[in-house]
Amino acid sequence: MHRTSAHPTEFTGRAALVTGSASGIGLAVARRLAAGGADVAVADINEKGARSVAHELREAYGTRAVAVGLDVTDPASVETAVRTTVDELGALDLAVNNAGIGGPVAPLHHYPLDEWRRVIDTNLDGVFHSLRYELPAMLAAGGGAIVNMGSSCSTNGFPGVAAYAAAKHGVIGLTKTAALEYAARGVRINAIVPGFIETPLLADASDAERAHLVGLHPAGRLGTADEVAEMAAFLLSERSSFVNGSYHLVDGAYSAQ
């Protein structure tokens, strides 16, 4: 057993649900929370991947970890995932709503209607469904903290990705509204706005495409999933106890331009 967290017990006794945690940012978040002592429900549409990650967390960090199959576009699937988390881990104290997809790149007047629906269903409706079922579970536990995963497209436009930008802007609106509704009831809800991050989603990018993305960031590089996970850990911890209803940039000064 090993822990890599600078705060190895900050989440001890806390149960967390991380959507889209079989890879990428979600995987980094699941590892970071387990390193801090949390019990983690690894939720992903890729059930095989979720089982592999849950096994890794149990072996590496000695915390409880369960794999949960999850399709965030299906409210019944989300309800089941939250119920399974509570049944297996005893409560729901922390959640990171990270599951998302990219979608095609096309001018708005050529954007495929079926792809518009698919991206909105996953990236916006999926966060709504997650909040809708996570919040009652957290209220039953006496409070908690939630992080919704936005994007640089939550605050900036980006040509060719109308559906993605619309959905990610919507995540910020959901975050602020939910925070206002539940702040007095002991649930904090914030969002993270990452820049372009080194994840499997960029695995197929050409050298020229990668160079272009790097050039968008004054920091001169892409971010790492671990850097996003550190922000998530901060927002879920008591270190951010008066941080609520806000979004936090992890983007190498991309949005400052």
What is the amino acid identity at position 5? Answer: S
Of the candidates 248, 237, 241, 243, the one whose C-alpha atom is nearest the C-alpha of residue 38 is: 237
E runs forming strands in the chain: 15-19, 39-44, 65-69, 94-97, 144-149, 187-194, 197-198, 223-224, 247-250
Burial grade of 52 (CB within 10 A; 0-12, 13-18, 19 or more): middle
Structure tokens at 3: 């822990």
In the chain the first and final C-alpha atoms are separated, in Å, by: 43
Q: What are phi and psi of 135, to 5 degrees?
A: -60, -45
Decide if 92 contacts 40 (C-beta within 8 A): no
Of the candidates 68, 67, 10, the one whose C-alpha atom is nearest the C-alpha of residue 34 is: 10
Structure tokens at 201: 């989603």
Q: Which residues are catalytic?
A: 164
